[in-house]
Amino acid sequence: MGVDPTLGNRLDAVPAAVVPWTGTAEKGRKAAPVQENQAPAAEESRTPSAHDLDVLSRQLGRPVRDVVEIPARCVCGNPLVAATAPRLSNGTPFPTTFYLTHPVITSAVSRLEAGGLMNEMNDRLTVDAELAGAYREAHEAYLRARDDIAGRAGTGDVPEIAGVSAGGMPTRVKCLHVLVGHSLAAGPGVNPLGDEAIEAIAEWWTKDRCYCAGAWETAGEAPSKDLSRHGPQGLPEIVGRPAPVRKSQASSEGGTTTESGTATEEGKLTEEGTA
């Protein structure tokens, strides 16, 4: 099911120019000005309802699990980001605390990744000390937020991922979806590269409009099986290519599973996982 182009979220447009890091002397470092990024959800709306969990499963195309909060919402109230416990109920450590779920945003961010934006950001991190410092601060903020989520979830410490944030932080950019999820959850000025990516997808998504109509299947029961990595039923038509298919691989002895099914040698999850 595709998205009505009259809603203004077409993904065949030329990407908006990225607003680069500018730096500031005011109280440390802040991200370049952006279009009023999606602010964190109000405290009273963070607790996920049964409807929220149903929507999340439809957005992702698979059963959602261990969601603690909804830290960012569409103007219509649907979830944009899910905050997941750092240890799943099956015992698996899960480092990706803020998981981007809305298929229109995930599709737009995928286009940025395909266009080479991560390489450009990595190049800048090696030569711009101020940007690198701010990005490290974002990493620290992510870890603090995860600790808060762990406290509310009652999972306690998760030593397997101690000091490990997500998305390549604190020194590299490996997943823009993670950085955008962090920026949407935390609000502008926390993750400079996540803020830049949100600015760059303004052709396809902005926080002041709803892009939910037609973005995922709403008829019938919510998905009961994990069929793909991002998986929303509407994603292939939105992006213009088939959705990626997850391939399960056998885990090595003593290891834990990454999002593609590969176990790490140290028995730790890599920073990108599935919610």
Per-residue pLDDT, 211: 97
Model pLDDT, residue 226:
58
Q: What pLDDT digit, counting tens, does each position of 79-97 carry?
A: 999 999 999 999 999 999 9
pTM across the whole model: 0.71
Task: Tell me what pLDDT residue 10 has.
Answer: 36
One-letter identity of residue 211: Y
Least confident of 38-47, 64-73, 254-263: 254-263
Q: Given this model, what pLDDT does residue 237 score?
A: 42
The closest of 97, 264, 254, 122 to 193, measured between CA atoms, is 122
Q: ∠ at Cα 235 (62, 198), nearest 5°?
A: 100
Tokens for 203, please give them. Answer: 């052709």
* Lowest-confidence pick of 12-16, 81-85, 257-261: 257-261
Chain-centroid distance, C-alpha 2: 22
**Among candidates 216, 224, 221, 218, which has minimal Cα distance to 63?**
224
Give residue for tokens 């000005």: 33
Per residue in 93-113, pLDDT tens? 999 999 999 999 999 999 999
Torsion angles phi and psi, residue 100, rounded to 5 = -70, 125
**pLDDT value at 181 more than 80:** yes
What is the tens place of the pLDDT at every residue in 205-226?
Answer: 999 999 999 999 999 998 876 5
Q: Which amino acid is at 203?
A: E
Q: What is the distance between the alpha carbons of residues 186 and 167, in angstroms, rounded to a whole number?
A: 15
Q: Rg of the chain's alpha carbons, rounded to an integer?
A: 18
Dist CA 204 CA 108 (whole Å): 7
What is the predicted pLDDT for the residue at 224? 79
* pLDDT confidence tier of residue 42, bands split at 50, 70 and 90: low
Helices (H) and strands (E) in the chain, counts: 7, 3
What are the residues facing 205 on neighbouring strands?
A: none
Task: Give the residue with greater pLDDT, 252 vs 201.
Answer: 201
Q: How far apart are CA 14 and CA 144, in angstroms?
A: 36
Q: Answer yes or no: is pLDDT of 144 > 50.
A: yes
